[in-house]
Amino acid sequence: MHIQIVTLTAKSEEKADYAAFLADHQDASRAEPGVIEMRIHPEQEADNCFWAYERFADKAALAAHGKTAHTARFFETSKTALQQPPEVLTLNALSPLAPETEEVTGGIPMFFVFPVAPEMRETLIEAFVPYVEKTRQEAGNLRFDLHEIEGDKDRLVVFEIWRDMAAFEAHFGMPYAQEMGSIIAEAVPGEFTNYLAMTKDLGAVEQ
């Protein structure tokens, strides 16, 4: 499997049109046989910044995706709509992934891309293993996956989806979440919320 996160920062005056374009691109990509998952979401606070979470069956499926007409249109449109080139992070899963047949709709997707002190990396990953499983058992959690970034040992990635904000906030009252928070506070420089991007539906982008 090939997994990647792509971040796209649109020019402010282009964001609404670009969001509509991305919705069409998302639908076309999901119809490809090698695309397991394609989710594109704007940030809640800066809705000209879009996050795409993409899972392909393998690198051949990614290559086939790159040869489609809708991907060609994506690159052509992005040349003028974006402030800067897309940033692509290739991910390696550090926790079992959601089943390929499982589709999650709705909820609030969140992208947590955070730096880790080198001496704390293995300790943090080890602590995350049981934490991921416990979090997934919560009724309000729809997805919780831990990844490392290929070629980047200084950061880790959590992709998570919560049913609503009440479920997300309730999570932090769990004893294991409080314990994990103490480990994260030691391992992650600065305030962790600085690295957390909460997103919304593509159709919610304001003019």
- Gap between the Cα atoms of 31 and 37, Å rounded: 10
Higher per-residue pLDDT: 11 or 101: 11
Higher per-residue pLDDT: 205 or 73: 73
Report the run of H or E that residue 17 belongs to, with start and end.
Answer: helix 15-30
CATH architecture under which domain 93-198 falls:
2-Layer Sandwich (3.30)
Q: Calculate the average pLDDT of the chain.
A: 93
Q: Give per-residue pLDDT as tens, 12-45.
A: 999 999 999 999 999 999 999 999 999 999 999 9
pLDDT band at 99 (very low <50, low <70, confident <90, very high): low
Residue closest to 159 by CA, chosen among 148, 147, 168, 172:
147
Higher per-residue pLDDT: 205 or 170: 170
53-62, 76-85, 101-110, 176-185: least confident range: 101-110
- Gap between the Cα atoms of 159 and 150, Å rounded: 16
pTM equals 0.92
The pLDDT score that the predictor gives to residue 101 is 47
Rounded alpha-carbon distances, angstroms, from residue 2 to 40, 43, 69, 70: 17, 24, 21, 20
Does residue 153 carry a pLDDT above 90?
A: yes
The ranges assigned to domains in the chain are: 2-91, 93-198
Q: Do domains 2-91 and 93-198 have the same CATH topology?
A: yes
Cα Rg, the chain, nearest whole Å: 17
The pLDDT score that the predictor gives to residue 72 is 97
- Fold held by 2-91: Alpha-Beta Plaits (3.30.70)
* Dihedral angle over CA of 196, 144, 52, 156, nearest 10: 60
Give me the mean pLDDT over the 125-132 stretch: 94
- Gap between the Cα atoms of 14 and 106, Å rounded: 25
DSSP letters, 100-111, are: TT----SSEEEE
The pLDDT score that the predictor gives to residue 96 is 80
Give me the mean pLDDT over the 76-99 stretch: 91
Collapsing DSSP states into helix, strand and coil, what is residue 57?
Answer: coil
- Gap between the Cα atoms of 133 and 145, Å rounded: 9
Does residue 9 carry a pLDDT above 90?
A: yes
Higher per-residue pLDDT: 12 or 99: 12
Long-range (24+ apart) CB contacts under 8 A made by 65-72 are 65/29, 65/32, 65/34, 65/35, 68/28, 68/29, 68/32, 70/24, 70/25, 70/28, 70/29, 71/25, 71/29
Amino acid letter at 155?
R
Please give the structure tokens belonging to residue 3: 């997994």
